[in-house]
Structure 1
Amino acid sequence: MNKRRLGLLTGTHAVNDLYQGLVPALLPFMVLERGYSYTAVAGLMLAATGLSSVVQPLFGLYADRHPRSWLVPTGFMVAALGVVLAGLSHSYLLTWIAMVLCGLGIAAYHPPATVAARAAGGASQKAMSVFSVGGTIGASFAPVLAATVVSGGSLSRSYLLGVPALAMGVVWMAANAGSGAACAATAAAARKAGAEVLKPHNDWRAFSLLVATIIGWSIPYVTVLSMLSLRITRDLHGTAFQGAAALTSFTAAGAVGTLLGGWLGDRIGRMGTIRAGYLLALPSLAGLVLAPDAGWALACTALLGMCMFLPFAAQVTLAQDYLPRNPATASGITLGLALSVGGLVSPLFGMLSDAHGLGVTLMTVLCVLCVATVLALRLRNRSMQAMPAEVEGAAA
């Protein structure tokens, strides 16, 4: 494990996902200052997140065919530029275009950065979990940063939101200074040595099963995240504080579960971790569905957040091993397109809630999670054979 490289990439992930979190954090201030309607806000959110999820696999294809280390800093710098321009633009059209720019930057960052983090972490699942939690930490600071910089009708100060990206860009350049010639030499050596090694084939059938499993995970996750507070305050007659505490505990438990999943993956194997996560998430979600009061729901929420994220890091590395010839594409599809399905179908569950109540909706997503669990139990591990020493040294 290259801890120094992994730490640098984790820092870039925190900065990149900070800007991903700033998109929804800035929208309320735009409504107050510019008078945007809910439809206009939804359009901005779609521009930033929907397009990003769709094009992320395309950036993965590009990163597989033309590996470029500059995609990592370019990604979070472009995302920062989009956020800054969205805050400074007075025209809705320009704001929408700026949100698209932000989404493209976020999409460009994730595939190459995830592959680089896997390389820096070696065979460790814990390394991938640390890299993943870096993004969670960055996103968690977004509301605080937005409120600090632009509160009180001060969207004109949005240029200050670009400071974290500029600082991380300087750190990235300093960390990689003087490595251009060395990288070119090692890349040439890797190509020469790799020409003598037959790459394992892509297992698209197994990868498709994994994508279906992740989609089955995404739908319950997004639905619970969207309706958890309403479930506690309206159905279980909890306080507004308890509703907010549930959301916080769900997110925080997810970060803990990601780290715990990486630790377990190194000890019991990633397949055991994936299966344990899904199997333990079922009774946790059932407990939330059947909770008699807000206190019980809070306890089940924390357990659910931890269990749902136990498989996260293991699923990323498994996807890359299913597609060893296209690891960036695998990352783009699993982290982008598959995870976004939950958001795309969320309006349908909103309509179901309006018609039949939140209890019926949560029972429905529990059934979806059951299907995902069955699919997860059918997944099989795939370990890549170790490369010859000269190839491994060149790739390092």
Structure 2
Amino acid sequence: MNPNDHRAALADIQVTAQDVKFSTIVCFLAWTFAVYDFVLFANLLPVIAQDLGWTAAQTTGINTWVTIGTALVAFFVGPLVVDRMGRKSGIVIAVTGAALASGLTFVAGWMVGALGVLGLVLLILIRSLAGLGYAEQSINATYLNEMFSHVDRKNGGGASRGFIYSLVQSGWPVGSVIAAASIAILQPLGGWELCFIVGVFPAFIMMALGKKLKESPQFRARQLVTQWRSQGHTAEAEQLAREYHIGEETGVSPLKAAFSGESLRPTLTLSAAMLMNWLGILAFAFQGTLVLTSGKQVNFNDALTILIISNATGFLGYLFHGWLGDRIGRRNTIALGWFLAAFAFAGMLWAPNGSYGLVVALYSVGLFFLIGPYSALLFFNAESFPVETRATAGSFINALGQVGAILGGVLFTIHLSGLTQESAAELISSTWINAALIWGTVPILLSAALMLLARDVRPGRQS
């Protein structure tokens, strides 16, 4: 090998602390934009259902079909994009897909009423594209874990990487607050369809910023190792592989490798925990407006206010759990948070209807401990796998969250199937509360217990 070519290739791998700061900001914006579109549809469900005359069971049923499509799209991002085309490309594709879903939802909204069942199918297919936006969080976790690790290895840092990532993951409550605010402002002006227009513009911003991102050093190193091995430059390839903890090419697909060797235990435990927890996410985050309006008999505008307040609290939850995970370990932090979330939501559901202040307080505490641990979880996922399977395993686990949402949607639909728009308000309220208790709080408790079965990983481990 030409020494100059060798040095140039190695120089291309290097990233600076400034590169990492820029990547962190871009990932935060990408996740915020993706979340805006992803939660907008769920928050608007009560309005969409009323506008189109859906029953409670029809509403949850349609949302379930949307979730199925979302899961399929989110799953294929890891194996087909991030572990093959690169982390940088994955970020841009995910946000662009979310923006496309928003724009097309605006168009589909006008067609649902005119086309009947065909319009519903079109709406479900379009909303499935939101799976690209949902996949953004696992891409961010993989990408930033590798960027932080590279710089920490050179500078001897790493003690606060979880807290820094929590700032990125806090794009969830930020995006949720922006979504709720846009509903409050735009929906009275032009109907629910107008709210989705806002989600189109981030695509242009991310295309511009994405060109300036540096690719992950580990991904570039893996590309070089593969290239040099195929060219017969074995010594250089093995030296680089040792430096970046890259294993031998086995010919096994990343998905199959995620279910073997050291990856098997984290794949199984984290997937099961994610699946169970997302039943709770569906109940209290995505169907939060439905639980509050139908279950706790809060009017829609007050429900939006509660969402804004609770998501602002959730922002603090991300920072707290990111900080705590750096100190007591991410696995224990996640499990503790989810145990407390289940108790808070149970208290909120059992609180007397009309006790607005208590509902706000307990719902906010619940979201603080339900979504806050995700700032530790997504980073914990990335730390639990070798570079060869990291993005694929992360995408698989992430997609299992959507499977949990699908399961939750089916269970909610069955539980609510006896209700009609003419049912008594008291019957609707008690049925929704029972459904949220059984299919929301109990799965959150199970997810906390499952997290304790995962292999603990020392915070700041170099990967």
TM category, shorter: 0.7 to 0.9
* 1:391 aligned partner: none
Task: State the secondary structure of the residue aligned to 2:327.
Answer: helix
- Is 1:372 matched up with 2:442? no
Map of 1:220 onto structure 2: 280
Cα pair 1:81 1:162 within 8 Å, conserved: yes
Cα gap change, 1:71 to 1:44, in 2 (>3 Å)? farther
Could you tell me which amino acid in structure 2 is paired with residue 166 of structure 1? F
Alpha carbons of structure 1 residues 271 and 341: separation in structure 2 relative to 1, 3 Å: closer
Contact 1:284 1:304 (8 Å CA) reproduced? yes
For the structure 1 residues 351 and 43, does the alpha-carbon distance in structure 2 shift closer, same or farther, using more than 3 Å as the test? closer
Alpha-carbon shift at residue 304 of structure 1 (Å): 1.2
Note if contact 1:59-1:107 (Cα within 8 Å) is conserved in structure 2: no
TM alignment of 1:306-385, pairs within 5 A: 306-324=368-386, 325-352=388-415, 357-364=431-438, 365-383=440-458
- Look up the equivalent residue of 1:163 and give its one-letter code: F
Q: Tell me: CA distance 1:358–1:52, structure 2 relative to 1, closer, same or farther (3 Å).
A: closer
| In the alignment, structure 1 residue 4 sits paired with structure 2 residue 8 | no
CA distance in 2, matches of 1:359, 1:28: 16
Amino acid at match of 2:343: P
Per the alignment, residue 258 of structure 1 pairs with 318
Secondary structure of residue in 1 paired with 2:262 = coil
Aligned with residue 97 of structure 2, among 58, 63, 78: 78
Cα 1:64–1:363 shift into 2, 3 Å: same
Q: Structure 1 residues 189 and 269 mapped into 2: Cα distance closer, same or farther (>3 Å)? A: same
Aligned to 1:390: none
Q: TM-score w.r.t. structure 2 length?
A: 0.67
After superposing the two structures, state which structure 1 stretch, 223-232 or 11-20, moved more.
Answer: 223-232
CA displacement at 1:277 relative to structure 2: 0.8
The amino acid across from 2:208 in the alignment is V
Give the superposition deviation at 1:99: 1.0
How far apart are 1:31 and its partner, in Å?
A: 8.1
Q: Which amino acid aligns with 1:377?
A: L
Q: Are 1:106 and 2:152 matched, yes or no?
A: no
Comparing 37-46 with 138-147, which one deviates more in the overlay?
37-46
**1:136 correspondence with 2:173:** yes
Letter in 2 for 1:326: T
Quickly say closer, same or farther: Cα 1:243–1:280, change in 2 above 3 A. same
Q: Tell me, what secondary structure is at the counterpart of 1:378?
A: coil
Per-residue CA deviations over 1:216-237 (Å, capped at 9, x if unaligned) read 2221232234665566667666
Contact 1:320 1:331 in 2 (8 A): yes
CA distance in 2, matches of 1:10, 1:166: 16
Q: CA deviation at 1:268?
A: 2.2
Q: Unpaired segments of 5 or more residues in structure 1?
A: 388-396
Structure 2 gap ranges (5+): 1-16, 113-117, 150-157, 227-236, 249-260, 420-426
Distance 2:296 2:191 in 1: 36
CA contact (8 A) 1:82 1:98 kept: no
SS in 2 for 1:69: helix
User: Residue 288 and residue 150 in structure 1: after superposition, are their counterparts in 2 closer, same or farther (change >3 A)?
Assistant: closer
Where do residues 198-237 of structure 1 align in structure 2 (5 Å cutoff)? 199=247, 201-225=261-285
Kindly tell me: are residues 207 and 298 of structure 1, through their superposed partners in 2, closer, same or farther at Cα, counting changes over 3 Å? same
Question: 1:271 aligns to what?
Answer: 331
Summarize deviations over 1:79-135 as a string: whole Å, max 9, x none: 323432343466555854871573354366454333112223444111322221124
Q: In structure 1, give the amino acid aligned to 2:431.
A: G
- Structure 1 pair 76/149, CA: closer, same or farther in 2 (3 Å)? farther
Would the aligned equivalents of 1:73 and 1:109 in 2 still touch at CA under 8 Å?
Answer: no
Give the Å deviation of 1:334.
2.7
Q: Mean Cα displacement is larger for which, 295-304 or 242-251?
A: 242-251
- Offset at residue 166 of structure 1 (A): 0.8
Tell me which moved more, 273-282 or 155-164.
155-164
Distance 1:170 1:202, change over 3 A: same
**1:343-383 Cα distance to aligned partner (Å, 9 max, x none):** 44234235435586344334424333333332233333134
Distance 1:227 1:155, change over 3 A: closer
Q: Give the superposition deviation at 1:314.
A: 2.0
Farther off after superposition, 351-360 or 59-68: 351-360
Q: Bigger shift: 47-56 or 238-247?
A: 238-247
**Distance apart, 1:271 and its partner CA:** 2.5
1:195 is paired with a residue of what secondary structure? Answer: helix
CA contact (8 A) 1:23 1:48 kept: no
Displacement after TM superposition at 1:11 (Å): 1.3
Aligned equivalents of 1:231, 1:188: Cα separation in 2: 48
Q: Does 1:17 align with 2:35?
A: yes
Q: Aligned with 1:349: secondary structure?
A: helix
**So what's the TM-score if we normalise by structure 1?**
0.77
Q: Does structure 2 retain, via aligned residues, the 8 Å contact 1:56–1:111?
A: no
Q: What is the aligned-residue RMSD (CA, Å)?
A: 4.1
**Do the aligned residues in 2 keep the contact of 1:278 with 1:376 (CA within 8 Å)?**
no
> What amino acid sits opposite 2:165 in the alignment?
M
Say whether the 8 Å CA contact 2:75–2:399 is kept in structure 1.
yes
**Counterpart-to-counterpart distance in 1, 2:297 and 2:37:** 35
Larger Cα-atom Rg: 2
Q: Which letter maps to 1:67?
A: G
Matched, 1:170 2:208: yes
Q: Which residue of 2 aligns with 1:304?
A: 366
Instruction: Describe the SS at the equivalent of 1:379.
Output: coil
* Distance across 2 between alignment mates of 1:366 and 1:30: 26
Q: Report the CA distance between 1:261 and its aligned residue.
A: 0.6
Matched, 1:195 2:241: yes
Contact 1:219 1:341 in 2 (8 A): yes
The DSSP-based 3-state class of the residue aligned with 2:190 is: coil
Residue 75 of structure 2 is aligned with which of 33, 57, 61?
57
- TM-superposition CA deviations, 1:185-239 (whole Å, max 9, x none): 8666565344345649433133212221222222123223466556666766666
